[in-house]
Chains A and B, each alone.
Chain A
């Protein structure tokens, strides 16, 4: 299918992820992931033909990060492609790295995504993203307290999305508590995760502060400083570097109306925030490109992008891994656990670690790590042949999907 080349993943690198890295500046933080990635692949900067990079614009309070970082990445004198798409940035950057190799234009490409949130002011950063919508709301007479009260940004979307999803799926607040417990326990086994809460129970999550119904403090991602790097290359080169590379079979993204409730700069939206039609379209296209005929049975692992607890279940459904409304009972069955039939978020997920610009790449990186069998304590209890990674972002209207496997399309 198609004339593009197969693409292998030969290296993954992650920095330490915590809420505030005051001891390093942004390029130094990114270098931790980049150097780990070089080491993982056994490659040096001279071996890399091009770079793709991105972070969430303005969240660090500086722009043009590739000007700051190119030297630290070994990118001087090389093509650098910068891609930023909001919460999906890391996914889009990895897609960019994939395209550079799949096109046949470059053999070996490093993709780098990061966020050093503690360097900037996130409210300011979000303003730069939501400015047009907020300005439109002011124009129509919405007062600032009103906007503040329903959260604004992704939280404001998430609460409505959660309520609506819970009604349509039968997902209960106990399921939200279960998702948080599952993810944070997985995160405890991941040396690169941020919030490690070994032994956390759903009951303990249920006792955390209610931010806005139905979302509690325990259902929300932290704000993280962190970086992720991946090395993509041709299958021929990959075979010389490692016995067990991972392969990217396909990538796909799809944009839709912003899933906001109420007024926005472009007028009221039509969609229900939990529909996420664009995720279903992106998934179906990615599966078709990858030759996946039966997504419910062919995948061994899923890394949906879920900064809020309900999203792990909602996106599991929107990634066509089960019927709509079926995910809560699949969670109940234990199938999503680390030792389950189709483990979900073995990394601990975005709900445990959210260096925003890096997060969607870390979903893809985790799939590659698990396929390569390098998951350490969090390695799932089965051979991972095929895995699906997802990202959600843009202006809460973009979904990105990648399919990875242990063998190329052939």
Chain B
């Protein structure tokens, strides 16, 4: 039997892309992706406080149940943003030279919505981006029916 002078470290990894849970929000958001095929952005509205959720949400912060789909515009405002630095898009790395192009991620509140979605803002230098900047969704040529359809914006 061996006595250890130093203690151990446990490694581990879970492949969370495999997990199958029931998310009410996914059913609602699936409807939004369907509507995007007709170039419409569908959110939902809380009957109690009027908050419009985009993407749609099954319950409201006021504990009301949003029950009405409403259309929001494809133009919006940046409410917050970040620019990727040493951690590149191609994976988490701190090595100089291994990093990808800096990407601008922004919380975008589309006109008519009260909530934000995260989009990549393109066609602009990182130094020129700011909170309050107006942007427009870049509709993809081919819609995938997934969040990637909604992931790119350009300055208005």
Mutual binders A and B: yes
- Chain B interfacial residues counted at CB < 8 A: 63
7 more contacts with CB within 8 A, not counting A21-B7, A124-B13, are: A121-B10, A131-B19, A135-B21, A149-B103, A164-B79, A262-B107, A265-B23
| In contact, A139 and B7 (Cβ under 8 angstroms) | no
A210 to B102, CA, bound (A): 11
The distance from the CB of A60 to the nearest CB of chain B, in whole angstroms, is: 8
Instruction: Tell me the complex Cα distance, A163–B5, Å.
Output: 46
A76 to B118, CA, bound (A): 50
B105 touches A149 (CB 8 A): yes
User: For residue B55, which residues in chain A have a CB less than 8 angstroms away from its CB?
Assistant: 263, 267-268
A296 touches B (CB below 8 Å): no
Task: Indicate if the CB atoms of A140 and B29 lie closer than 8 Å.
Answer: yes
B98 at the interface (CB under 8 A from A): no
A-B contacts, 26 of them at CB < 8 A, read A60-B10, A121-B13, A124-B13, A127-B13, A131-B16, A136-B25, A138-B16, A146-B89, A149-B88, A150-B84, A159-B82, A209-B86, A210-B86, A212-B83, A212-B85, A213-B126, A262-B118, A265-B23, A267-B29, A267-B57, A268-B57, A268-B116, A269-B116, A270-B51, A271-B61, A274-B80
Stretch at the interface among A4-12, A22-30, A381-389, A400-408: A22-30
Name the residue of chain B whose CB is nearest to the CB of A145: B89
Q: Is B131 within 8 A of A121, CB to CB?
A: no
Q: Once the chains bind, are A124 and B12 in contact (CB under 8 Å)?
A: yes
A81: Cβ under 8 A from any B Cβ: no
Q: Is the interface of B mostly helix, strand, loop or mixed?
A: loop
Q: How many residues of A contact B (CB 8 A)?
A: 65
Seen from chain A, the residues whose Cβ lies within 8 Å of a Cβ on chain B are 21-26, 60-62, 118-121, 123-124, 127-128, 131-132, 134-146, 148-151, 159-161, 163-164, 167, 209-215, 256-257, 261-274
A141 touches B54 (CB 8 A): no
Closest-by-CB residue of B relative to A125 is: B12
Tell me whether B23 and A61 are in contact (CB under 8 A). Answer: no
Pairwise interchain contact B53-A267, C-beta atoms closer than 8 A: yes
Q: Does B156 contact A (CB under 8 A)?
A: no
Closest A residue to B129 by beta carbon equals A213
Contact indicator A267/B58 (Cβ below 8 Å): yes
| Distance A164 CA – B81 CA, assembled complex (angstroms) | 8
CA distance A256 to B131 in the complex (A): 24
**Most chain-A CB neighbours within 10 Å: which of B105, B126, B144?**
B105
Q: Chain A residues with Cβ under 8 A from B58's Cβ?
A: 266-267
A270 x B82 contact (CB < 8 A): no
Check A151 against B26 for contact (C-beta < 8 Å): no
Per-residue contact bits, chain B 44-63, to A (CB 8 Å; 1 contact, 0 not): 00000001011111111100
Asked whether A270 lies within 8 Å of B147 as measured between CB atoms, the reply is no
Given that A119-B8, A167-B131, A265-B21 are contacting pairs, would A212 and B82 also be in contact in the complex, using a CB cutoff of 8 Å? Answer: yes
Q: Is the CB of B29 within 8 A of A263?
A: yes
Decide yes or no whether B70 CB sits under 8 A from chain A. no
Determine the residue in chain B with the shortest Cβ distance to A58: B12
Check if B85 sits within 8 Å of A136, measured CB to CB.
no
Residue of B whose beta carbon sits closest to that of A277: B61
Report whether A211 and B85 are in contact in the complex, using a CB–CB cutoff of 8 Å. Answer: yes
Closest CB in chain A relative to B46 CB, distance in Å: 9
Contact indicator A136/B26 (Cβ below 8 Å): yes
